[in-house]
Amino acid sequence: MVLIHVVGSYNLDLTVKVDRFPEDGETTFSNEVRTGHGGKGSNQAVSASRLSSKVKLYAAVGNDDVGRDAISFWESEGVDHGNVKVKKGRTGSAIIIVDKKGKNRIIVNRGSNLLLDPEDVDLSSSGKDDVLLTQMEVKESVVKKSLREFNGIRILNPAPSIISDMSLLEHVDILTPNEIEFKELTSTDDIQDGIDLILKKVRMALIITLGERGVIIATRHKRVIIDSVKVNPIDTTGAGDVFNAALAFAIEKGTTLEEAVGFANAVAGLSVTIEGALGPKLEEVKLFLDKLNIKMP
């Protein structure tokens, strides 16, 4: 059985909705406040599971009510949480401010995510057809070990783009930064120079998500731009996580990279029309793809 393995974070999200972001020193009023499940690892795991993938999550929560709620949530979403560690401390959290255009600003307190240690994650028995998704909201040493010992396709979503040892990219098959993360990783505003720099390190491909401007796929042999789908965004929170989950799902199904990115782009587009950081359910995706004349992987 082919699996998607997700190594990453869990956060309790506190989302605050405003008409506009406050200026420095300014107080503004909120229209709505809500809590929900978040964290890049959890978002990706749940979003992939909703697409029908078999998902194993490797993460850490605190020994508090928030951590216990997270485990119950994963059970309800069909995510295998047998490798989630319960640590002595507070579960991670995030404050998300969303304006009326659906744009967001996020502050994360990593909490127990920083207590996940390399020895807590063992991927040595992974299959060659399995897919790994990981990000940078846990320790870099955990990410590095996971990439090195995984036996299948390895996807790194470098969010946030705080990487002290760039040699870990040599163990990455597909790197998926957004435009801001790409510029931070390459220290250049010249997109072609940055692409050339990254492709000297990663094994297969660089995929840069550009929001409403689409997605760039770059390999050593080809550069392709995939247009975004036209939607009216309500909440862009988690769109990158949904994109990565859908990308892993499509790759696991054996599609070409361009087909996988086209599918992931559509699913992420649908996700921003729904409030919250989690991906849409499978039936919602199928209906949306029918309208776009895109086939399921």
Q: Does residue 209 have a known ligand-binding role?
A: yes
**Distance between CA atoms of residues 57 and 84, nearest Å:** 7
| 241 belongs to the catalytic site | yes
Contact 213, 226 (CB under 8 A): no
Q: Does residue 270 have a known ligand-binding role?
A: no
State the pairing for strand pair 4-7/205-209: unpaired
Q: Does residue 165 have a known ligand-binding role?
A: no
8-state DSSP, 80: B
Short-list 231, 293, 277, CA closest to 42: 277
**Distance between CA atoms of residues 15 and 20, nearest Å:** 14
Q: Does residue 52 have a known ligand-binding role?
A: no
Q: Does residue 259 have a known ligand-binding role?
A: no
CA distances from residue 76 to 3, 73, 117, 134, 264 in whole angstroms, order as listed = 18, 5, 26, 22, 24
Q: Does residue 134 have a known ligand-binding role?
A: no
Q: Does residue 127 have a known ligand-binding role?
A: no
Q: Does residue 62 have a known ligand-binding role?
A: no
Map tokens 């060659």 to a residue: 128
Q: Does residue 90 have a known ligand-binding role?
A: no
Given the residues 80, 120, 130, 241, the one annotated as active site:
241
Q: Does residue 214 have a known ligand-binding role?
A: yes
CA 242 from chain center: how many Å? 6
Q: Could you list the active site residues?
A: 241
Q: Which amino acids are annotated as binding site for K(+), given as ranges? A: 235, 237, 271, 274, 276
Q: Which amino acids are annotated as binding site for substrate, given as ranges? A: 11-13, 39-43, 137, 241
Q: Which amino acids are annotated as binding site for ATP, given as ranges? A: 178, 209-214, 240-241, 265
Q: Which amino acids are annotated as binding site, given as ranges? A: 11-13, 39-43, 137, 178, 209-214, 235, 237, 240-241, 265, 271, 274, 276
